Amino acid sequence: MECSIPSGEVLDLRGVPCPQNVSRLLLELAGLETGTVLEVILDSGEPYDNVMESLTVEGLKVSQRVEDNPAFKRLRVIAK
């Protein structure tokens, strides 16, 4: 499955189960230039928690968390 998106767009991972959401996000970030901000949409709860933990383990920075609604979360991640 192709998961590459143009820089500056949104990676929508709603409905993508763990750990596939983490894998897709890390692959996408690996293809971006350092400092590029990627906006990510995730389901709330376990998917969000697992992605946040993985970003911390990878040493990636979340530049902003945007609370949209209880069903999903948006965050902006800085590629390194």
Per-residue pLDDT in tens (0 to 9) along the chain, 80 residues: 445 555 567 899 999 999 999 999 999 999 999 988 999 999 999 999 999 999 999 999 897 777 768 899 999 999 98
List the strands of the sheet with 37-43, edge to edge: 10-12, 37-43, 72-78, 61-69
Domain edges within the chain: 10-78
- Does the pTM surpass 0.85? The reply is no
What superfamily does domain 10-78 belong to in CATH?
TusA-like domain (3.30.110.40)
Token pair, residue 42, equals 């995730």
